[in-house]
Amino acid sequence: KVINLNAINADAIEIIEDIDYKNRLLEEVTGDILESLVDKNYINDEEIMLVSVYNKNLDKSKKQATELNDIIHNKLLNIKKNPVLLTQSLDKSNTVDDYAQKYGVSVGKMTFIRNMIILNPELKTEELVNLSLAELIEISRNTGIDIERILNSADERVTDSGHKSPLEDDQVHDDFDDDYDDEDDFIDNDDDFDDDKYDDNDDDDHDDDYDDDYDYDDDYERKSSETKIPSKKQLIGYEKAKQIALALVNGQIVDYDEDDHEYEFKIVSNGYEYEIEIDGFTGKVTSFDKDEIDDD
């Protein structure tokens, strides 16, 4: 059953705001999300959808990713839509979580980017985060990345071979696990982040979804010409900005300011203080800082 839905930007809030999800079956809620995406013109046959599944048990995660893939495909066939659908399994990484929050993207998209960097260390995080899924896939093709090593299931429209990689799945994940131990591969020498702050063995977790047995998130990409972007005279408003901030950090807002068309929040959670800045027009997270609270 679905326990929680988190929106990471203004578009996502619009998609899920009318969906009753609490304790309903995943298949039902997934169907409602897809219908909302169609109703709000987010899906057509040229879209790319990345469905990411997290489970503490990797084998269960793969199985659930396959089940979700089937659920979504069947639902889309019923409404006569045929977007490109990709699925991947997530593993727990506080570094990926923090980078996703910093750049205002989903954990699923940031995981996809990290895995691209593992397979091609010349790629840089800051050069990839603002690209669409279609652009990331094109970069994978052009740089020789075997995208089927990253995904649980892939559409033939985005793969050259149209079949699974000859490498066994366990071998792929073993390769990833070896590289994940060195988070510097993912940090990309970003001076704004102190790597000592992030310990993947730390029990602190500001995303409550990871405490659940099962969690998934979806990334939806559409052509930039079709993307809804609020006009410069239309602010997203305090309530939506607050929803975005609290979706990133589930804590207590202790300070708030609105300055130069940006919403600034200070949130306290689990011994850390977070400062989040959100663009007033797009809902994009423009700044994300995390500091440990000194009890002294």
Most confident of 32-41, 57-66, 151-160, 191-200: 32-41
Whether 248 and 240 have beta carbons less than 8 Å apart is answered as no
CA distance 22 to 252: 22
Domain boundaries, the chain: 10-226, 238-292
Q: Which residue has the higher pLDDT, 105 or 208?
A: 105
Predicted TM-score of the model (pTM): 0.57
Assigned architecture for domain 238-292:
Roll (3.10)
CA distance 34 to 179: 35
What's the whole-number mean pLDDT along residues 58-78? Answer: 83
| pLDDT tops 90 at residue 279 | no
- The distance from CA 87 to its chain's CA centroid, rounded to whole angstroms, is 12
Q: Tell the burial category of 226 from Cβ atoms under 10 Å away from its Cβ (0-12, 13-18, 19+).
A: exposed
Query: Using one digit for the tens of pLDDT, what is the confidence trace for 35-62?
Result: 898 888 888 766 788 888 887 887 888 8
At 171 the pLDDT is 36
What's the whole-number mean pLDDT along residues 262-276? Answer: 90
For helices 107-119 and 94-103, the axis angle rounded to 10 degrees is: 110
3-class SS at 195?
A: helix
